[in-house]
Structure 1
């Protein structure tokens, strides 16, 4: 029996040994087929990488965040491609082994085994590289506002209570309440970071409600964060769609900030319960009751020691100066533990001498406000004190200008330049560009004083709601500005004394009828928006008794420019989405410097526009009905610095010398504008004369398109940023010569479906591309090289091209493409981060062997 058992065991061991031996021997005989399998899977992985990388590039251009699993896959692919290249180099070193003539059996066995394992890894990555989506629109909230959030013992206790309430599945709504300026919004913006980190929620959405809630606006904020587009006209239908979308979410937190009264969640489209929970911030505890918050958490002022620590941090003082420290204690005590007051006053006193501290302390003790609801009245006095200590009237006026926008509005710096220039600010600036520079200095000073906040990007700013209230109080008291912006007004306000104001803002309202005329003799700046459905008429007498006006912004009105003919002091005129009966009287506005006709309805630009000898900026973006710009009008604008004609605006320029019977403007007129530095233009390729060259420009977005194509989205073009962008799509252009004068500032170049181009740049032109960051060339059937020799001259030996700022290079579907540089020498891209080559079958494989910023490029021949 024992013998049988032993014999069976030995037999089984023998079978395993034989199988193992055969498997090991197979590594020797299957070496060539293993290598072929590796090459096939490597090719499949590169194809998958190209597909995913193209999707990732599109997502990044759409400002989306890349999914974590996608980024992990890309990193793994990058690593394994490097490993395969290294393995391939080792195999290539002993080519004879592929034909079976390898005497080194140990090497052959080891490598065959390694190749087989590598092939399995490649196959796994290929199978994993099928993603439903590669990115998502980031939530509309800054998740890490650490520079604003300073955690003290008292605030930590409140924060911990909020997080504990979030962990409780039985609690659907949490309310944070406390006086204005105590830091509710700042704390609410810190919550997402923690709840996402703990996995309590998978998504967080933030919406500012404000004192006068606008249902449509709140719906829009939530939908935008979700990547949902609400096209419905009625608020009710939008609410239904939003409700359905939110019910699909398993774990989502909706933060409703600055709620003043009970909010009807059904009207907005926010479900309660299930996977959707809500965090409310409010100044009033009764709001928490009325909204039936299961957890109601107070946020109190800082205790004295905490207030002092925060004050010293913002005033930048240490413990080495006893006298200053004693003063700091007194000043901080007067701030009543309110973070907004502490930060603002501390910033105002930073770097100031002791005498000035004493003066401020005395004013703080004496300054009092009365009749202020839902906020400690002292904070108004303290913020007014910060305003008083601003340097220069320009800075103060810029601050007050920001109060003319609705509460929680993100204020474009470009607007402030236009309105400030019209009011006579930046008088030392010789150009609009210089005015922008001066504005940036002013804005930075206001931010440093904590009177303005960062917006969603570097070209936007915001005002804290209490700071805005104080600014409006100051402006009203000094009879400078009156504002009822964003209140949903349908009629012109009947407030007494409006004739005393220098500025009136009825921005973001829905006025349905306008007075025939108004007597505002001191008015210099006027903003008002009408209901776009009501087709509100602006009478020809409306502006007759407003002769001091320097700045006008009108949205969604129906008017004749004739009604403006009395405004001989007007310097900035902004018309948004207006229906214009005519603009032939525009020539009477002889002092006009800035003329914006954005999304307006009219078909012909008046030749009288050429009489505006002081005009510096002309904006005709999105004027989809514009068919004619009379010849020589643009040429006559000798002082013009900035011209915007983007997207679906005018594109049918005249080509001089073709004999076409037309009186439209020609591109040649641009070369008569010696002051032109900024251009936004969408044009058909047939309208570019053969010998035309664009003038030298600082910023531009030029789009060359076929006649049946829609232009670029002009909302992406920045008036305040530094950018040179050219897009050429479906064009029959045979060279890039028309753009040679702007190459020195070119940052982004996108070329697609251009089947007459064989190259883009000559060597001399390529050497001027010192600012180029993004280059994309796609589906150009004749494209052979990106860079060729000048005038068919041979490339000199040792010739070398450096593109120092190029970070992204994408070449796809170029069947005749042979290489980047026609010459025998090479080009260098020291900043390259992404290189994508797809369907370029004539390209030399050596062209794709790069390491760019630690990343391996992807390619598919």
Structure 2
């Protein structure tokens, strides 16, 4: 019985002892807070010191990463924040240690409550500190910064231009159209194409049209690896491949992995094989759209752009507003009448509404005094801008790249000839043809018409490159003011040796410019011309005057120092009576043009110019073409438009054995010379090279009925009582007959019927009683 009781009581005692131990553990912990608070505080201090050390080390890593423009991981930022908070709280706890050691009742009685609280707080905070130390074991502190999107680039200024806003709106619409995958923006250098595509990129991202927008600058010498690298950088793509093909495949894979992506290729100078770079488009990736910019219209076509937008220069109001802003000009009306303000307006005009020129010139002159503005205006007018900060570097060199990229020597030389005319002048393309023939610019050319075809091809190329523009008059072109300044700057270099002084009328030939090795001179002079000029290497002289003065200003010895001259163009230079005798010394002359030079009674001296190939008296009154002109055995083109020639001496035309083109206009207007006129025209039959004729006859009776011009390929023949009215002749003839008041018998029985087979345009100004059969 006793044994059983003992067996029963033993487990109970053991259980009670276990419960006691369980109950004593928290009690002991609480007593530990009270009696071991000092060790708890000491432990917290040590843990906080360790945490501070780790926090310092982490901060060094963060500082290094930030210096290298890396992104700090969010976990690192969070840990640092928690550490700073925890350390601050620990320091607040440790402040109580001093008070706990003092006790209460003047130190006779320990402050048990404070010691208990301090020990507990120190213990708990030490655990938190230890946990933060453990969290310090992070794998990465910082990461490479994601590439910024091009939409973040500043496009300040473009929004204020209504002309740009409209184009940008149209480009955005094209980007939204799924039928277009290749879109182009073209325009001359410096017009603002790059700024526009950056604005488009920004808007495309804002409107969420694409998941990614990337951009690469192509430039005149495309570097595939550089293009791949620029696109890769925007995508955060790192290339490990060594070969271009391997990089292209990697880039293509990355681009295909983006559902909607816009690839902007800026400044494209020639066709780019996108597949070789690794840019999928069209069927290769319907979600990839290409937006390119180029200063060449034909490049946009070569790239098969489905939609093309042309950016022109600013309008005058936009240009002035931009210039005002960039130059810091006050628009206060009280200032608009000052000399400085007027000069500022003139300087702005010299920038030709071209944004890059406006911004560069305006910034360079911002805050400058009136003398600086006056000096800048003079330099801009003379195309000499080396002293205007950044103009040569930013404006001239940018546009000169377009010139350098023209390729052939011929088209470069042709472009420089376009600089010979004043600002805003309509440049007759035919003038350029004749200059080119005279100075032997063209290779493998056998006729004037072949040279004309080549010139028109050059004009088309230069228009597509935005170096030339359509003129306001028929068969003319224009050149932008700033582009012309660049052309003059290039042409004035020693290897070209041009002198161009035709923007202002000089009262006399500049004294310093009378004895130099110029090859080309274009000058506008209103006073008497000197007789002591010496230009031993001069090949082309274009001289312009104001014929309203009616002052004879050509000395007899004027041409004495120009014996190598090949092309002579005199415009509105008043000549009275006869030509200077020194003209006969120009034995190398191949083209002579006297345009609206008054009334010349005697042109016989021209007969001495045996190498002459082109002779034009357009608009100069000459009643008779003398027999001496028949000596010009090399003459290919004779232009008598608006000359009022009544008579060509017998035998002159038949003697011009190499004559190809004859422009008579409304010559032969004397009713008493009908038979003489018919005899003159009959002389054309024996010219085997004769292909081109422009003539205006008052009656069909002037045309010999048996005259058959079998080699004629191009013509414009007008028969009417009215006088010739066209100011410019279109030298690209379309084989046109213009007829008035004729009868069927007059047509069918005359020599005209042989030309009907190649007639393309028949113009009848009154009803006619015949049926035309081709």
How does the TM-score come out when normalised to structure 2?
A: 0.51
- Asked if the contact 1:483/1:504 (under 8 Å) is kept, the reply is yes
Task: Determine the structure 1 residue equivalent to 2:694.
Answer: 680
2:549 partner SS:
coil
Q: 1:538 to 1:689 in 2, by over 3 A?
A: same
Q: Shift of the alpha carbon at 1:376?
A: 6.5
Q: Does 1:745 align with 2:758?
A: yes
2:519 to 499, 502, 505: 502
Task: Determine the structure 2 residue equivalent to 1:577.
Answer: 596
1: CA distance, partners of 2:740 / 2:710:
18
1:574 partner SS:
strand
2: CA distance, partners of 1:376 / 1:586:
45
1: CA distance, partners of 2:760 / 2:441:
32
Task: Determine the structure 1 residue equivalent to 2:354.
Answer: none
- Asked if the contact 2:633/2:657 (under 8 Å) is kept, the reply is yes
Q: Shift of the alpha carbon at 1:575?
A: 0.2
Task: Determine the structure 1 residue equivalent to 2:541.
Answer: 526
- Asked if the contact 2:518/2:537 (under 8 Å) is kept, the reply is yes
Q: Shift of the alpha carbon at 1:417?
A: 0.6
Task: Determine the structure 2 residue equivalent to 1:722.
Answer: 734
1: CA distance, partners of 2:568 / 2:532:
15
Q: Shift of the alpha carbon at 1:574?
A: 0.4
Q: Shift of the alpha carbon at 1:423?
A: 0.8
1:426 to 419, 438, 442: 442
2: CA distance, partners of 1:379 / 1:385:
10
2: CA distance, partners of 1:349 / 1:497:
47
2: CA distance, partners of 1:346 / 1:525:
32
- Asked if the contact 2:518/2:538 (under 8 Å) is kept, the reply is yes
2: CA distance, partners of 1:498 / 1:159:
49
Q: Shift of the alpha carbon at 1:534?
A: 2.0
2: CA distance, partners of 1:521 / 1:597:
26
2: CA distance, partners of 1:544 / 1:730:
53
1:403 partner SS:
helix
- Tell me, which stretches of 5 or more residues in structure 2 are unaligned? 1-153, 171-189, 202-212, 234-263, 270-292, 304-383
- Asked if the contact 2:386/2:392 (under 8 Å) is kept, the reply is no
- Asked if the contact 1:572/1:594 (under 8 Å) is kept, the reply is yes
CA displacement, residues 310-351 of structure 1 (integer Å, 9 cap, x when unaligned): 997997999x9664355799996999xxxxxx8449989999
Q: 1:555 to 1:531 in 2, by over 3 A?
A: same
Q: 1:647 to 1:370 in 2, by over 3 A?
A: same
1:514 to 508, 529, 547: 529
Task: Determine the structure 2 residue equivalent to 1:606.
Answer: 626
Matched ranges for 1:131-170 at <5 A: 157-160=159-162
2:420 partner SS:
coil
Task: Determine the structure 1 residue equivalent to 2:684.
Answer: 670
Task: Determine the structure 1 residue equivalent to 2:469.
Answer: 453
Q: Does 1:483 align with 2:386?
A: no
Q: 1:595 to 1:314 in 2, by over 3 A?
A: farther
Matched ranges for 1:634-783 at <5 A: 634-647=653-666, 665-683=679-697, 684-705=699-720, 709-715=721-727, 717-729=729-741, 734-736=746-748, 737-751=750-764, 777-778=766-767, 780=768, 783=769
Q: 1:675 to 1:299 in 2, by over 3 A?
A: closer
1:407 to 401, 419, 423: 423
1: CA distance, partners of 2:484 / 2:452:
23
Q: Shift of the alpha carbon at 1:593?
A: 0.4
* CA-based RMSD: 4.4
Task: Determine the structure 2 residue equivalent to 1:493.
Answer: 510
Task: Determine the structure 1 residue equivalent to 2:123.
Answer: none
- Asked if the contact 2:500/2:521 (under 8 Å) is kept, the reply is yes
Task: Determine the structure 2 residue equivalent to 1:839.
Answer: none
1: CA distance, partners of 2:723 / 2:385:
54
- Asked if the contact 1:621/1:649 (under 8 Å) is kept, the reply is no
Matched ranges for 1:353-372 at <5 A: 370-372=386-388
Q: Shift of the alpha carbon at 1:499?
A: 1.6
- Asked if the contact 2:566/2:590 (under 8 Å) is kept, the reply is yes
Looking at CA atoms only, which structure, 1 or 2, has the larger radius of gyration? 2
1:485 partner SS:
strand
1:488 partner SS:
strand
2: CA distance, partners of 1:447 / 1:311:
27
- Asked if the contact 2:158/2:164 (under 8 Å) is kept, the reply is no
Task: Determine the structure 2 residue equivalent to 1:588.
Answer: 608
Matched ranges for 1:112-131 at <5 A: none
- Asked if the contact 1:638/1:674 (under 8 Å) is kept, the reply is yes
Q: Shift of the alpha carbon at 1:673?
A: 1.7
Task: Determine the structure 2 residue equivalent to 1:467.
Answer: 483
Q: 1:493 to 1:571 in 2, by over 3 A?
A: same
- Asked if the contact 1:567/1:589 (under 8 Å) is kept, the reply is yes
1: CA distance, partners of 2:508 / 2:609:
29
Q: 1:695 to 1:384 in 2, by over 3 A?
A: same
Q: 1:188 to 1:500 in 2, by over 3 A?
A: farther
1: CA distance, partners of 2:497 / 2:742:
53
Q: 1:315 to 1:676 in 2, by over 3 A?
A: farther
CA displacement, residues 503-543 of structure 1 (integer Å, 9 cap, x when unaligned): 1112xx45132112311111110111222122233111000
Q: 1:672 to 1:189 in 2, by over 3 A?
A: farther
- Asked if the contact 1:426/1:435 (under 8 Å) is kept, the reply is yes
1:477 partner SS:
coil
Q: Shift of the alpha carbon at 1:668?
A: 1.0
- Asked if the contact 1:576/1:598 (under 8 Å) is kept, the reply is yes
2: CA distance, partners of 1:445 / 1:439:
10
2: CA distance, partners of 1:735 / 1:716:
28
Task: Determine the structure 2 residue equivalent to 1:630.
Answer: 649
Task: Determine the structure 2 residue equivalent to 1:305.
Answer: 198
Q: Shift of the alpha carbon at 1:156?
A: 5.4
2: CA distance, partners of 1:189 / 1:531:
44
2: CA distance, partners of 1:189 / 1:725:
45
- Asked if the contact 2:509/2:525 (under 8 Å) is kept, the reply is no
Q: 1:378 to 1:316 in 2, by over 3 A?
A: closer
Q: Shift of the alpha carbon at 1:564?
A: 0.9
2:556 partner SS:
coil
Task: Determine the structure 2 residue equivalent to 1:324.
Answer: 227
Q: Does 1:394 align with 2:410?
A: yes
1: CA distance, partners of 2:569 / 2:387:
33
Q: Number of residues paired by the alignment?
A: 449
- Asked if the contact 1:640/1:676 (under 8 Å) is kept, the reply is yes
- Asked if the contact 1:619/1:643 (under 8 Å) is kept, the reply is yes
Task: Determine the structure 2 residue equivalent to 1:199.
Answer: none
- Asked if the contact 1:155/1:299 (under 8 Å) is kept, the reply is no
Q: Shift of the alpha carbon at 1:632?
A: 1.4
- Asked if the contact 1:347/1:450 (under 8 Å) is kept, the reply is no
Q: Does 1:555 align with 2:571?
A: yes
- Tell me, which stretches of 5 or more residues in structure 1 are unaligned? 1-151, 161-185, 194-282, 284-297, 336-341, 353-367, 657-661, 752-775, 788-800, 804-861
1:486 partner SS:
strand
1:384 partner SS:
helix
Matched ranges for 1:328-367 at <5 A: 343-344=294-295
